Chains A and B, each alone.
Chain A
Amino acid sequence: EVQLVESGGGLVQPGGSLRLSCAASGFTFSTYDMHWVRQATGKGLEWVSAIGTSGDPYYPGSVKGRFTISRENAKNSLYLQLNSLRAGDTAIYYCARYSSRRGALDVWGKGTTVTVSS
């Protein structure tokens, strides 16, 4: 079964850091681009970052310089390092597989919740 399982979320103070992890199984992880998408409570989907099969990272302006995406193919794992966190970063963070054939995020994890509050 193709599966993505996120972990590492929690409550953190403004300015703090967290490292999110995503464990992949059921597919050849190294051959897929991977993405992080977040969703604040009651809000829409916001793309947070992506990493290509060769390790090239991509970020929107809202998180560039604060978030770092990485992957470890030997462990079938995706990571997102979140630094200098702000209240506006509070959201569910989803890990998602990108299907280049469809141009779509075709497999999603259940998400991990990040709460930034003092």
Chain B
Amino acid sequence: DIQMTQSPSSLSASVGDRVTITCQASQDINNYLNWYQQKPGKTPKLLIYDASNLETGVPSRFSGSGSGTDFTFTISSLQPEDIGTYYCQQYHYLPPITFGQGTRLEIQ
């Protein structure tokens, strides 16, 4: 099975900061990579699909890039409502769907 490794596992940043999370796949997954946001006590929400496509209704401060084994998720200007945990997920080799271990984002 493909392993997805996210880093960092947690981070603290200030409102307005640029925040970057990375996700590395154990094998080439082309661009078959999605990003989810899970706010505290809430259900996961799809933010980005196919590595760089913004889901409908998602603010443009969120973006994604990458291909192959290395991917990046960026929040261009952190807002207070962005706190939560972010997960990457691959779908190149199914099953299984594989998630990264998550990155917990806090506001300083």
Mutual binders A and B: yes
User: Measuring CB to CB, which residues of chain A are less than 8 angstroms from any residue of chain B?
Assistant: 35, 37, 44-47, 50, 58-60, 94, 99, 102-106, 108-111
CA A50 to CA B97, docked complex, whole Å: 9
User: Which of the 9-residue segments B44-52, B61-69, B70-78 touches chain A?
Assistant: B44-52
Determine the chain B residues whose CB is within 8 A of the CB of A59 once the complex forms: 95
Determine the chain A residues whose CB is within 8 A of the CB of B94 once the complex forms: 58
**Shortest distance in angstroms between A22's beta carbon and chain B's nearest beta carbon?**
13
CA A58 to CA B91, docked complex, whole Å: 14
CA A93 to CA B85, docked complex, whole Å: 18
Q: A102-B50, A103-B50 are in contact. Are A108 and B43 (CB under 8 A)?
A: yes
Most buried by B among A45, A59, A111: A45
Determine the chain B residues whose CB is within 8 A of the CB of A50 once the complex forms: 95, 97
List the count of A-B residue pairs having beta carbons below 8 Å apart: 62
* B98 proximal to A (CB < 8 A): yes
Q: A105-B89, A105-B97, A109-B43 are in contact. List 14 more A-B contacts (CB 8 A).
A: A45-B99, A47-B96, A50-B97, A58-B94, A58-B95, A59-B95, A60-B95, A60-B96, A94-B44, A102-B46, A103-B50, A105-B44, A106-B46, A106-B55
Determine the chain B residues whose CB is within 8 A of the CB of A108 once the complex forms: 43-45
Determine the chain B residues whose CB is within 8 A of the CB of A44 once the complex forms: 85, 87, 99-102
Q: Tell whether, in the assembled complex, residue A46 and residue B55 are in contact, meaning their CB atoms are under 8 Å apart.
A: no
CA A110 to CA B98, docked complex, whole Å: 20
